[in-house]
Amino acid sequence: DTAVSQTPKYLVTQMGNDKSIKCEQNLGHDTMYWYKQDSKKFLKIMFSYNNKELIINETVPNRFSPKSPDKAHLNLHINSLELGDSAVYFCASSQRGSSGNTIYFGEGSWLTVV
Amino acid sequence: AQTVTQSQPEMSVQEAETVTLSCTYDTSESDYYLFWYKQPPSRQMILVIRQEAYKQQNATENRFSVNFQKAAKSFSLKISDSQLGDAAMYFCAYRNNFGNEKLTFGTGTRLTIIP
């Protein structure tokens, strides 16, 4: 069973559209994250939720809105998509105080905006 | 703010040989974790190895080991007996040991294995 799963894995959409990426973890972790990997492969945190509460919001445009209905799910909604939003988006999770606070990643969602 | 630097954008090694990937970091904290993640062409982020800053002993995982020099803020990854499946991007990452701190990544090193 996949520990951190995200859908869709690939997404091609036009500028101006709104799209969502869903993420679920079955590890029982209390914290979930969204990371963005740009075309130069640089990985950067976007958001983090702990027990459904937003704890990290890293200067991300407000077109990006995370939503955590419960601690096992963290979805990412993007409004008015722009060309620069093309990237791989990784969902991840961790458990405070466990396994060296290791963060486990999903397989990534490859978003292409045309 | 913490920073992580990987000064080798690309490295290559002959199959079965040993290669070392470099990583340095900057922090004012004393309690933290360091990680190496592997990203093959599939884009999956795979944890390779983890080091707790309070442990003096270097972590090892099969063919992978680290050289952790806390005073020098250096955390290199050694891959022994390189295999074709080791070809990937390797990212060094730092995380504070409190709260739910984010991972800060280096820019990555692309490792090529020469048959």
CB-based contact B50 A100, cutoff 8 Å: yes
B107 to chain A, minimum CA–CA distance in Å? Answer: 6
Torsion of CA B60, A5, A62, B43, to 10 degrees: 50
Indicate the residue of B33, B97, B108 with minimum beta-carbon distance to A41.
B108
Give B75 or B56, the one with higher predicted confidence. Answer: B75
pLDDT at A56 (0 to 100): 85
CB-based contact A104 B44, cutoff 8 Å: no
DSSP letter (8 states) at residue A3? S
Q: Would an 8 Å CB–CB cutoff place A13 in contact with chain B?
A: no
pLDDT at B98 (0 to 100): 73
Total CB pairs under 8 A between chain A and B = 58
B18 to chain A, minimum CA–CA distance in Å? Answer: 25
- The tens digit of pLDDT for each residue in B15-67 reads 999 999 999 999 988 889 999 999 999 889 999 999 999 988 999 999 999 99
- Tens-level pLDDT at each residue, chain A (114 residues): 669 999 999 999 999 999 999 999 999 998 999 999 998 889 999 999 988 888 888 878 999 999 999 989 999 999 999 999 999 999 999 987 766 678 899 999 999 999
Residue partners of A34: CB distance under 8 A and separation at least 6: A23, A45, A46, A47, A48, A66, A74, A76, A89, A90, A91, A92
Chain B residues close to A52, C-beta within 8 Å: none
CB-based contact B100 A96, cutoff 8 Å: yes
pLDDT at B99 (0 to 100): 61
B→A interface, C-beta within 8 Å = 33, 35, 37, 39, 42-45, 47, 50, 52, 89, 91, 95, 97, 99-105, 107-108
As given in the structure block, the two tokens for residue B97 are 């040991």
Give the span between the Cα atoms of A97 and B33, in whole angstroms.
12
CB-based contact B47 A90, cutoff 8 Å: no
A18, A20, A92, A114 from A63: Cα distances, Å: 9, 11, 21, 17
DSSP letter (8 states) at residue B103? P
B14 to chain A, minimum CA–CA distance in Å? Answer: 25
